């Protein structure tokens, strides 16, 4: 039976497999019935306070409890926003200023972050996850009444991405979009209750949506792999085999690390059936290492931005590629239409490069509390002047190959994809400009070295610049190369000359 809300997945699966392990991390395991019980308690705490169709922020470490909090918020009729507990307080403050959540749920392990947020001026309710689970009585009838009154177009979550102005953008996604995506994943990759997912993505990153909701729908187990293991490839592969993991959906960076450290093939992966990847281009050199070591596994390249519920095209690898060849991003997912438009807003001709645009149920409602940026990215379909039909302009340049598959070329603007994250370089620049002594700065991406480069001029020497930057940005946004300049090159318009800077790479 098709779900109406994502919480229907948990209801159905807890009914079929109440005692089966749903989630596990280093410290805790929950069966499907236990997961539902914890989610109900979270929902009851929010319902008691009268919150409905409001944003709720979740400040928790990556854990099974964090996912239970997401589901509890959904049961209550509200929508959730994950907050990275390692994120600088300044960026958290910008997110909360935009979101204005009515409530914040934090775990004991993140109590110091919660206190920082409160000192920074947050005035909404602040609840302790563990206390809710221990003391809140389940309001089952009220949960059911709220559940019945909701529709699939209600918001499920708001994920914040980088913003070119230095202000993070909150992408609003509905239950309907996640259900449509989840049903496609489960059907396309034939996911069943016998599967087990090995999660790599942080829970504030949209790749985690596939893991969480596909496992819920199918009755599969979701194992949250400890982040520290991704620095030790042999131990990582050993865990995958010991846990009998059948499916992984990782960023290419994680797969490349295993390949580059020559770990492929050293551990037998006797249960792994599917290796899916998304978030940045996957180099064929490292993919070929995986394919040679584990030739019986299905490999699939998934593509899509947060604004279209994670994925809009896919390519199941079905032929050999040279190491230097680009890997296609493939064809549209079911119930998704891809328009590749040229500068004249017409469909591209054969061999022509254009911007990838998307229409379908997967589309976000836009950016939370940011109508101006929403109108820039979500526009009326230029091919349809007759009725309202929105498309999302990804800013990614692509073309079709001889097989009719879409091939990614590059970003249209200065937005980059790095370590699986979509990053606006302007946000890094904005943070650097706030450091005392910085006069001018500009960020570029070094494609060969896969590093963010920071060019800057300063009125005085700043010996600890990298440490100052670390205090202002998440790890994945911190530049890897720093270049001091006596003078910043400018173009005729008085703007920083990025073309000239590229010659200094």
Residues 398-452: tens digit of each pLDDT: 999 999 999 998 777 767 888 888 787 877 887 887 787 787 788 999 888 889 9
Mean pLDDT of the chain: 93
pLDDT band at residue 493 under the 50/70/90 scheme: very low
Buried b (16+ CB within 10 A) or exposed e, 305-320: bbbbbbbbbbbebeee
Share of the chain above pLDDT 70, in %: 97
Tell me which residue has tokens 């001029």.
Answer: 457
CA distance 426 to 441: 10
Do residues 56 and 79 touch, judged by C-beta distance below 8 A?
A: yes
Triad 78, 9, 360: Cα angle to 5°: 75
**E strands in 110-220:** 125-128, 155-161, 169-174, 196-199
Q: Quick: pLDDT tens for 198-234.
A: 999 999 999 999 999 999 999 999 999 999 999 899 9
CA distance 42 to 37: 9
Q: Which tokens belong to 278?
A: 């998304």
Burial class (CB in 10 A: 0-12, 13-18, 19+), 328: buried
| Domains of the chain and CATH, by start | 1-172 (3.40.50.12780), 335-415 (2.30.38.10), 416-502 (3.30.300.30)
DSSP 480-501: SEEEE-SS--B-TTSSB-HHHH
Q: What is the pTM of this model?
A: 0.85
Q: Quick: pLDDT tens for 371-386.
A: 999 999 999 999 999 9
Q: Residue 11 belongs to what H/E stretch?
A: helix 6-16
The residue that leads in pLDDT, 161 or 312, is 312
Q: How many CB atoms lie within 10 A of CB 450?
A: 14
How many CA atoms within 13 Å lie on the side-chain side of 131?
A: 10
pLDDT at 447: 85
pLDDT at 164: 47
pLDDT at 411: 74
Tell me which residue has tokens 């919150």.
Answer: 51
Do residues 355 and 397 touch, judged by C-beta distance below 8 A?
A: yes
Q: Which is nearest to 395 in space by CA: 478, 453, 309, 308?
A: 308
CA distance 433 to 445: 18
- Pairing mode, if any, of strands 313-316 and 298-303? antiparallel
Q: Which tokens belong to 254?
A: 């994680």
* Average of per-residue pLDDT across 135-162: 95
How many CA atoms within 13 Å lie on the side-chain side of 420?
A: 22
Q: Which tokens belong to 364?
A: 């976000």
Lowest mean pLDDT among 193-197, 345-349, 404-408, 409-413: 409-413
Share of the chain above pLDDT 90, in %: 77
């Amino acid at each position: 039976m098709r779900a109406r809300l994502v919480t229907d997945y948990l209801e159905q699966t807890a009914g079929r497999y109440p005692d089966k392990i749903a989630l596990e991390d280093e410290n805790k395991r929950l069966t499907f019935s236990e997961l539902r019980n914890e989610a109900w308690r979270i929902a009851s705490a929010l319902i008691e306070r009268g919150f409905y169709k409001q944003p709720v922020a979740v400040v928790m470490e990556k854990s099974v409890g964090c996912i239970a909090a997401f589901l509890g918020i959904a049961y209550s009729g509200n929508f959730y926003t994950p907050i990275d507990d390692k994120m600088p307080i300044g960026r958290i403050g910008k997110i909360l200023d935009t979101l204005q959540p009515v409530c914040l749920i934090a775990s004991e392990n993140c109590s110091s972050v919660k206190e920082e947020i409160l000192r920074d001026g947050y005035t909404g309710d602040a609840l302790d996850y563990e206390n809710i689970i221990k003391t809140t009585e389940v309001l089952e009838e009220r949960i059911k009444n709220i559940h019945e009154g909701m529709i699939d177009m209600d918001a499920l979550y708001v994920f914040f991405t980088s913003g070119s102005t230095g202000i993070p953008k909150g992408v609003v996604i509905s239950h309907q979009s996640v259900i449509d995506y989840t049903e496609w994943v489960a059907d396309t990759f034939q996911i069943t209750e016998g599967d087990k997912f090995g999660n790599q993505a942080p829970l504030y990153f949209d790749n985690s949506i596939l893991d969480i909701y596909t496992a819920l729908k199918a009755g599969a187990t979701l194992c949250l792999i400890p982040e520290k293991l991704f620095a030790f490839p042999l131990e990582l592969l050993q865990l995958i085999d010991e846990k009998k993991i059948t499916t992984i959906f990782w960023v290419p960076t994680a797969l490349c690390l295993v390949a580059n450290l020559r770990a492929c093939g050293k551990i037998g992966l006797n249960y792994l059936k599917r290796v899916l990847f998304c978030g940045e281009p996957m180099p064929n050199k490292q993919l070929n290492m995986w394919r040679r070591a584990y030739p019986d596994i299905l490999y699939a390249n998934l593509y899509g931005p947060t604004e279209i519920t994670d994925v809009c095209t896919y390519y199941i690898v079905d032929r050999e590629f040279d190491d230097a060849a680009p890997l296609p991003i493939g064809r549209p997912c079911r119930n998704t239409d891809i328009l590749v438009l040229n500068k004249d807003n017409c469909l591209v001709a054969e061999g022509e490069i254009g911007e990838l645009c998307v229409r379908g149920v997967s589309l976000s409602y836009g950016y939370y509390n940011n109508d101006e940026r929403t109108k820039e990215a979500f526009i009326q379909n230029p091919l349809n002047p007759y009725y309202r039909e929105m498309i999302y302009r990804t800013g990614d340049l692509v073309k079709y190959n001889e097989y009719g598959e879409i091939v990614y070329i590059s970003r249209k603007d200065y937005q980059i994809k790095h370590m699986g994250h979509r990053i606006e370089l302007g946000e890094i620049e904005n943070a650097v400009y706030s450091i005392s002594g910085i006069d001018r700065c500009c960020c570029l991406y070094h494609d060969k070295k896969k590093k963010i480069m920071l060019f800057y001029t300063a009125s005085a020497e700043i010996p600890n610049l990298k440490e100052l930057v670390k205090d202002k940005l998440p790890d994945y946004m911190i530049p890897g190369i720093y270049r001091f300049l006596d003078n910043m090159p400018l173009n005729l318009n008085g703007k920083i000359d990025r073309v000239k800077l590229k010659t200094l790479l």
